Structure 1
């Protein structure tokens, strides 16, 4: 029965090459749904200060709600949902997942205490597990390998777009109508997008864009253990998991707490946050994610080591500016200096995702991506916001008046450790690509 379902899922895709219009439509709609994914994920981080006025919670509690509690359910469901995506219609799976996480986002607006918020966040995490990995698998079957770094970089701009929408639209609605209405509004947007994806995007044939015949797409999807073995066998992927996980730790930690830092320690009002920080964060992170993919796209023409050197150099550039920004008086100068680290802190995303797509078997791409996202989520979303919240409470208990400043500064050593791992990875990328080419005949 399982093999029959697999064959049906494969045959469901178009047998003729996708047209440019179909490719563009798939990319645009998946980007839109991915953007809503990030809005729903990050909205609570934006609204920490307004929510605190109705539901008094510590920074550690908000670290749990925005980080670990969400990440545990997101990560635990990510791999099984991705394995399902390697076996059934991925487009319909993403549409159903979008509906689920949007409904649970709306439930956040009804919460009256910590545990009600936590339960709603659990639901958001479970739903969003069906978003990114299946979407990347779909796009990899619409676009050729040499196009993927730039396309995946463009797709992952949904994160900055979601940050922009969440901060600007969410901040405006929260300032005018209250924080609960902000949750209701973004929930409605996601519920409206799901049927558009279902109806307008076609499920592509697996392996249709590979040099090898698409017949390899009809092979049985490998087991979870077999896919994990790929990561254990290839040194590049063994290094990529902790390196990208540590940078996710930093990027999610900063993204979740910078709004509260600007409001609490730099005197920025919610309306100013929506007007200035929202566009700044969206544009800068968009440049960083897209730029990381674009730079690698250019760099790999000379050397595959660009997959490692681009993230490593981004850390070198971003850390000094972050340190300066945290110690500037007033939110205006702080925000100006934060522009550079907000670009550099996310340049690792597209290279990491594209590298995983290139080194994974055709029938395990969603699962392989989910394994990478497991590192992003458990270490990044689960660890970064929580650690900063715990350190902020710790510094407060020690009498510090600027506890968030010191908590955010603690991410710099983590970035430097990740940089060292990327430098090590530069030594293995070329040989691992050759190993993968020999194994597949591509």
Structure 2
């Protein structure tokens, strides 16, 4: 063996010491922290539009249907870039994809503040969507390599803490900035942290060796091609994976629709100013949902000792009890009851992140994980973040002649059907999840 080959093998062996060791590895924990911070920037730059909708509506004289186009345009271009970047993340260095993604969407977010018309703002949000597409699939794939199955739900729950933290920053800090400095400065402030973090990722993050490939430099360097159609076929034909995909998509649709319109709902139905509405959403969704995100991962990993089906039962029950708490949030006129329901919904509607995504990663091969994640992000963003808010905007406009300022609340209430539908699919996933996990483990063991 040549000196160069020996050095490469030695470097690979050293890197492999961290692969699969999970929370016992310092490098794995550092990578998880950086990935969580990166996804926090994703969550912040994605959600910041929700606290500025009302000021933008007034400045550009827009309808609710036009406002709904902003998240839809974001989602369409997120989807367009997401699949090729997900496939690329299964083939090349994922750290570079994450750093480039951070830089692109952060700069596009800052440019939103310079928009001089609705069209300019729409184009800038398209840039944010396309830029964000590369971060999530690559990050999820890295975490799945660094953390074994018994820790994966907890690790991904820590990763998805970025969602409530991003919500806190969006509605508390963003609400304050909108109230005191205007929506343009708010966009600028939201974009700058990602630029700094992109540099930190390049300096501090290491690319992990992919699980089960640590003994072969040839396999690592010359990975087999990942065929998108094969991944889509597997996701559609494997019952547990198919039902998990549908349940995740439906839950994401409800959450995105509610959060995008939550601040305008508080303004119209409860008379709260922008700054106060942002504080309420930040505290009663962002801070409280941390309990749901973390709790979901820890409870699911505990329940998995009784069998993987218990993870899907947890998901089903959480979706079921999300329905009455969401309806209470939107229909109670008493502010105290509304906030109590909102806090309960925040916990229940965020339990699914770690357990559901961890199961999808365990049900597919190592070189398919980022691709599968990109398909999931396609669905959750096109149908969830894109279609969900647009449907609410259309329903609000249709109901406005009859219900006036309460039309938005009733339009949002209809979205509770999504939780019921998700519950059905999570329950169905539990019927075959044990068998499919066993088949996947046998396949990887044979290869």
Instruction: Give me the TM-score of the superposition, normalised by structure 1.
Output: 0.93
Could you tell me how far 1:171 is from its partner in structure 2? 0.9
Alignment of 1:36-435 (within 5 A): 36-66=41-71, 68-207=72-211, 219-435=223-439
CA RMSD of aligned residues (A): 2.4
Residue 30 in structure 1 maps to residue 31 in structure 2:
no
How many aligned positions are there? 434
Structure 1 residue 21: deviation in Å?
Answer: 2.2
Q: Provide the rounded CA distance (Å) in 2 between the counterparts of 1:225 and 1:91.
A: 25
In 2, Cα distance between the equivalents of 1:193 and 1:213? 30
Shift of 1:274: 3.4
CA distance in 1, matches of 2:82, 2:242: 19
8 Å contact kept, 1:142–1:208: no
How far is the alpha carbon of 1:209 from its aligned partner?
Answer: 9.2
Native 8 Å contact 2:292 2:350 kept in 1: yes
Moved more, 223-232 or 358-367: 223-232
Q: How far 1:336 moved relative to its partner?
A: 2.3
Q: 1:389-425: per-residue Cα shift (whole Å, max 9, x none)?
A: 1100110134534101111110112211111111111
1:210 deviation in Å?
A: 9.0
Mapped to 2, the partners of 1:369 and 1:165 lie a distance apart of 25
Identify the residue that residue 15 of structure 2 maps to in structure 1. 14
How far off its partner does 1:36 sit?
0.9
Other structure's SS at 1:400 match: helix
Partner SS state of residue 115, structure 2: coil
Structure 1: gaps spanning 5 or more residues? 1-6
Question: Partners in 2 of 1:211 and 1:309 — Cα distance?
Answer: 37
Closer, same or farther: CA 432–394 of 1 in aligned 2, 3 Å: same
Per-residue CA shift, 1:279-325, capped at 9, x if unaligned? 22212222222222222111111011123111210122221122222
Separation in 1, partners of 2:165, 2:283: 9
Q: Distance in 2 between matches of 1:213 and 1:354?
A: 27
Q: Give the CA deviation at 1:115.
A: 1.2
- Distance between the aligned counterparts of 1:250 and 1:184, measured in 2? 28
Q: Summarize the Cα distance change of 1:334–1:214 in structure 2 as closer, same or farther, 3 Å threshold.
A: farther
Query: Relative to structure 1, is the Cα distance of residues 117 and 332 closer, same or farther in structure 2, using a 3 angstrom cutoff?
Result: farther
Question: Which sits farther off after the overlay, 209-218 or 131-140?
Answer: 209-218
Unaligned runs of 5+ in 2: 1-7
CA contact (8 A) 2:82 2:378 kept: yes
Q: Give the direction of change, closer, same or farther, for the CA distance of 1:238–1:277 in structure 2 (3 Å limit).
A: closer
Deviation at 1:216, TM superposition (A): 7.7
The CA deviation string for residues 110-152 of structure 1, in whole angstroms up to 9 with x for no partner, is 1122211110111000010011110111112221221111000
When residues 402 and 276 of structure 1 are mapped into structure 2, their CA distance, relative to the original with a 3 A threshold, is: closer
SS of aligned partner of 2:18? coil
Helix, strand or coil for the counterpart of 2:307? coil
Question: Whose helix proportion is higher, 1 or 2?
Answer: 2
- Asked whether the equivalents of residues 262 and 331 of structure 1 are also in contact (C-alpha less than 8 Å), the reply is no
Checking the alignment, whether the CA contact within 8 Å between 1:79 and 1:367 is kept in structure 2 is: yes
CA distance in 2, matches of 1:281, 1:211: 45
Distance in 2 separating the partners of 1:12 and 1:33: 27
1:214, CA displacement in angstroms? 11
CA contact (8 A) 2:322 2:419 kept: no
2:5 counterpart residue number: none
Counterpart-to-counterpart distance in 1, 2:442 and 2:386: 37
TM-score normalised to the size of structure 2? 0.92
Give the C-alpha shift of residue 353 in structure 1.
Answer: 1.1
Name the counterpart of 1:4: none
Q: 1:200 to 1:406 in 2, by over 3 A?
A: same
